[in-house]
Amino acid sequence: MIITFYGVRGSAPTPGPTTIKYGGNTSCVHLAMDNGADVILDAGTGMKQLGRSLLGKSTPINIVLSHVHWDHIQGYPFFAPIFQAEREIDVFTSADSPDHLPGTLLSQMNGINFPITLEELPSRNNCIFDNVETLLKDRSIHVIRKALNHPGGGSAFRFEEEGMSCAYVTDNELEPPYKVHTSYDEWVDFLHGVDVLIHDAQYTEDDMPHKHGWGHSLISQVRQLAMDAEVGTLVMFHHDPDRNDTELDEIQIENHAYFKHHRKPIKCICAAEGMQIKLSRPIIGSDTLVKIL
């Protein structure tokens, strides 16, 4: 499994000289499964760049959507494969969202918000929100879901392939002031032992208390979760749009010192556009090899 990050920013695209290193595109991550399947996690603005790399193929594309906030759907109209004749593009989304929401990704192509309508596309676009896990399993993609703590709802996903695992948990507030869908202890169980955890880490203590309840986690909470769940590699994701490269570099240094102080063998990195992580099949009795390319 190879994980490639095309968009790592939360809330709003932030191009410019202060975000060149980590990138300004919103959420989009590609999983190249060892069985050949392409899985795309979210359809933020990073999806535009990803689309070009998939034009040489004709295989179905599986988009797994955490939820339909703008920063997770805006790249779809610019995703080049939607203009390929007969290309099958299936959008798998959350039964934890209200039923009308899954269509939001496709309905933004209505001739008003975007000049080309869904009906005019030559590709075959389907939105699926029932039996997502079963339908993906039919394609040999093994995934389990968990409900996010986020205004409007949504889902986290844990993918497993040949003993390797990667969890995508973005737009998740670990300790929200509103009704909890998944408790902290349930997150620890769900994520236990995962090789790579990609988790929302949008805020610092300076953002509180006025952003409490906005649906995102503190960096300090995510570090604690990684320790409690004994993850292999923690990837901090969905960076705040006001966080510049210098600040993210400082967070990287803090993360390293934090895990060293706690004597935990957890790799921790801030996601950056273009970053790739390769998970290799474990030889029996050894850990999955996680290599940051």
Interface contacts to Zn ion, rule CB under 5 A: 10, 69, 71, 171
CB of 26 to Zn ion, least distance (A): 7
CB of 127 to Zn ion, least distance (A): 18
Rounded to whole angstroms, what are the CA distances from 42 to 68, 80, 186, 193? Answer: 9, 15, 23, 24
CB of 187 to Zn ion, least distance (A): 17
Nearer to Zn ion, 28 or 132 (CB): 28
Buried residues in 59-93 as b, exposed as e (16+ CB within 10 A): eebbbbbbbbbebbbbbbbebbbbebeebebbbbb
Nearer to Zn ion, 37 or 47 (CB): 47
Which residue in the shown chain puts its C-beta closest to Zn ion? 69
CB of 150 to Zn ion, least distance (A): 6
Nearer to Zn ion, 44 or 77 (CB): 44
Nearer to Zn ion, 171 or 273 (CB): 171
Residue 14 has a CB neighbour count (10 Å cut-off) of 20
CB of 280 to Zn ion, least distance (A): 30
Nearer to Zn ion, 28 or 143 (CB): 28
Nearer to Zn ion, 10 or 77 (CB): 10
Beta strand spans in the chain (E): 2-7, 28-32, 38-41, 61-64, 88-92, 124-128, 142-147, 155-161, 164-169, 196-200, 233-237, 267-270, 276-280, 289-292
Measured between alpha carbons, how far is 8 from 270 in angstroms, rounded to an integer? 9
CB of 128 to Zn ion, least distance (A): 21
Strands of 164-169's sheet, edge to edge? Answer: 142-147, 155-161, 164-169, 196-200, 233-237, 267-270
